[in-house]
Amino acid sequence: MEMTVAEALIRCLEKENVEWVFGYPGGAILPVYDALYHSSQIRHVLVRHEQGAVHAADGYARVTGKVGVCMATSGPGATNLVTGIANAYMDSIPLVLFTGQVSTGQIGTDAFQEVDIFGITMPIVKHNYLVKDPQKLPAIVKNAFHIASTGRPGPVLIDLPRDVAESRISFKYPSTVRLRGYKPTYRGHPSKIHEIAELIRKSERPVIYAGGGILGANAAAELLQLAETISAPVTNTFMGLASFPGDHPLFLGMLGLHGTRYANMAVTECDLLIALGARFDDRVTMKIKAFAPKATVIHIDIDPAEIGKIVSVSVPLVGDVKLILKDLLPLLEKTDRSRWLARIAELKKQYPLTYDREGGLKPQYVIEKLCEFTRGEAVVATDVGQHQMWVAQYYRFKRPRTLVSSGGLGCMGFGLPAAVGACLGSRGQPVILVTGDGSIQMTMQELGTMMEQELPIKILILNNHTLGMVRQLQEFYCEGRYMSVNFRFHPDFVRLAEAYGIPAYTITSEEEVLSLLPAALAEPGPALVNCLVPREENVSPMVLAGRGIDEAIDCS
C-alpha cells in the first residue's frame, strides 16, 4: 500500500494502539498533522506550549504504564521539549517524541527554525533517530516503541525532515524488532536468587528499600507478598511511593533527605538491605559512608549500570524485578520477626511525623485531610517544592501509579500538564494536582488545555507567597539571607480560575478545609482551591548536607 511517510507514521501509531497524542503544530511537522487529520483512532490534545505536551505525555505514561506520545515542530518547538525529555529520562518514563525538521537539503544551513535536536537530546534520551531514508520509517517507529518500553524505560526521539515526511513509500509495518545491540536481561541468575533467599533467612533485621522500578515492572503485588512473607518493613524512594500501601503496618514511608526519621533509623540499624528497582540517589543516601552501615546490601535492578554505581553491593542481580521476585518468593517461608517489628514500632513512636498546628493554616493539615477525604485512592500529581514533600510525607497512597511527580530532575511546572495527561489515562479515577504558587505560574496556560479537554481535575495551591523550598535552603545554608524568593506580586488565583470558567475557593483556616475542600472535591468538573499557608513553614525532618540519614533534624 503506497502512501506518504507522514501517513505511514500515523498508521504506525495506530498499529501501536496509541490513544492520545499531545502536541503543537508548525511548519516542519505539518505533513504529519495533515495525516493525523484522517485518523479515527488517535485523538490529539492541543496544548498551549510544547513543554506542556511532553509533560502531559509523561503523566499519561506514569498512570497507564503505556508509552506516552507527543509531537512538536522544528526549532523552538523541538527545543521546548528538552526539559520534559530530560525529566522523563531521569525518571525512566517511556515516551516516543516526534519532531519536525527542515528538509534534508537544508540541514546544516541554519535554515528557518532549524536546530540539531538530534545532537541536543543525545545525552537525555534512551535513543534517538534522524530519519533520512523514507523506507526505514516504519522499522524506526517499531524499534522506538520497543526501546522506550523495555528494559529500563525511557524517552526515544524521532526527528523527521519535511521532505522525508512528504516522500511516498510502500507501507509495511514490521511484525518483529531486530536490534542486535539491545538485549535487556530479564531473568535473574538462579544461583544469585538462591543466595538472596539464604541471606533473607539468616537476617534478623531486614529492610526492603523499593524504588520506581517496582512501578515500572508492575511488581507492586510481588513487593507486598515479599514484605508480608518475610515480615520486613518497607521504605520507598520518592519515585517508589504508591508501590506499597501507605496504610500498611509494614510501611515506613519515604527515606532520605525529607524522609521519616523512623525510616532513616530503620535503614541505619538493619542488617540486610534489599534494594529493589532503586538507584541509591543522593537525596536517599546523603552521606554515603553512613548509609546502612551495618547492612549486607542486595541490589536488584534492570539496569546493570546502576548496580554498584553509588553504594558497594554484596549481592548484585540484574533483571526484571517482577520476574525475579516471582522466582524468589517460592524459596521463602513465612518468617516471624516480632523483635525487629517491635523495634520498628518503637522507632515510629519515638520519631513520629509531627507539625505545630498553631500559627495559621498548616499545609501538612491540608494534605492529611485531602488524604482522608479521598481515602488515599486519588491520582495525585504534584509540582516540585515543599508541597511535593508534604504530599510524600502525609498522603498515604493505596494504589500503584497514583503519584505523578518529577523526581530526578525536580522540574517545576510539571504538575498541571502532567495532571492533564494523567486524567486522560486514569480511566475515571479522580485526579488532583497539588502545586505551589511558584510552580503553577510556570505552566498555568495549560488551564486552557484542561478546559478544552473538559477534564475534572481538582487543583490545590499551597500558597505561601514564596519559593518555599529555596527559602528553606536559604534559611539553613545562607543564614536567613532570603534572596529573590519572596513574591511581592501574585495574580488573584481565584479570579484567574474564574476567567477559565473554573469554580474556585480560598481557604485560610482548618474550619474552611473541613467545609470547602470537600465541596471543591465534589464539583462535577474542575475546581481550584487557593490555600493560604504560612511563609515560614518548613519541611521537616531534614538531613543537612554532609550528614548521615540518622542525623535528621526537626526544622519546623
Element at 216 (helix H, strand E): helix 212-216
What pLDDT score does 105 carry?
Answer: 96
Task: Reduce the DSSP state of residue 410 to 3 states and report it.
Answer: coil
Query: 148 CB contacts (<8 Å, ≥6 apart)?
Result: 67, 94, 95, 96, 126, 154, 155, 156
Residue 114 dihedral angles phi and psi, to the nearest 5° = -105, 125
% of residues, the chain, pLDDT over 70:
100
pLDDT (tens digit per residue) in 294-331: 999 999 999 999 999 999 999 999 999 999 999 999 99
Q: How many CB atoms lie within 10 A of CB 321?
A: 27
Q: Which residues pair with 71 in a beta bridge?
A: 23, 98
Q: What is the mean pLDDT of residues 438-443?
A: 98
Task: Reduce the DSSP state of residue 539 to 3 states and report it.
Answer: coil
What pLDDT score does 469 carry?
Answer: 98
Give the domains, in start order, of the chain with CATH numbers: 2-170 (3.40.50.970), 190-350 (3.40.50.1220), 363-539 (3.40.50.970)
What pLDDT score does 556 carry?
Answer: 79
Q: Which residues pair with 247 in a beta bridge?
A: none
What pLDDT score does 322 carry?
Answer: 98
Distance (Å, whole) CA 219 – CA 504: 39
Q: What is the mean pLDDT of residues 513-542?
A: 98
Query: 288 CB contacts (<8 Å, ≥6 apart)?
Result: 310, 311
Least trusted range by pLDDT, from 175-184, 186-195, 409-418? 175-184
Give the residue ranges of DSSP H helices in 231-320: 261-269, 282-285
This prediction has a pTM of 0.97
pLDDT (tens digit per residue) in 200-229: 999 999 999 999 999 999 999 999 999 999
What pLDDT score does 427 carry?
Answer: 86
Mean pLDDT computed over every residue of the chain: 97
pLDDT (tens digit per residue) in 396-440: 999 999 999 999 999 999 999 999 999 999 988 999 999 999 999
* Cis status, amide bond into 293, omega within 30 of 0: no
Q: Which residues pair with 44 in a beta bridge?
A: 21
pLDDT of residue 178 exceeding 90: no
Q: What is the mean pLDDT of residues 504-512?
A: 98
Distance (Å, whole) CA 483 – CA 488: 13
Distance (Å, whole) CA 528 – CA 548: 40
Q: Are 302 and 217 in contact (CB under 8 A)?
A: yes
Residue 103 dihedral angles phi and psi, to the nearest 5° = -60, 150
Distance (Å, whole) CA 6 – CA 319: 37
pLDDT (tens digit per residue) in 62-76: 999 999 999 999 999
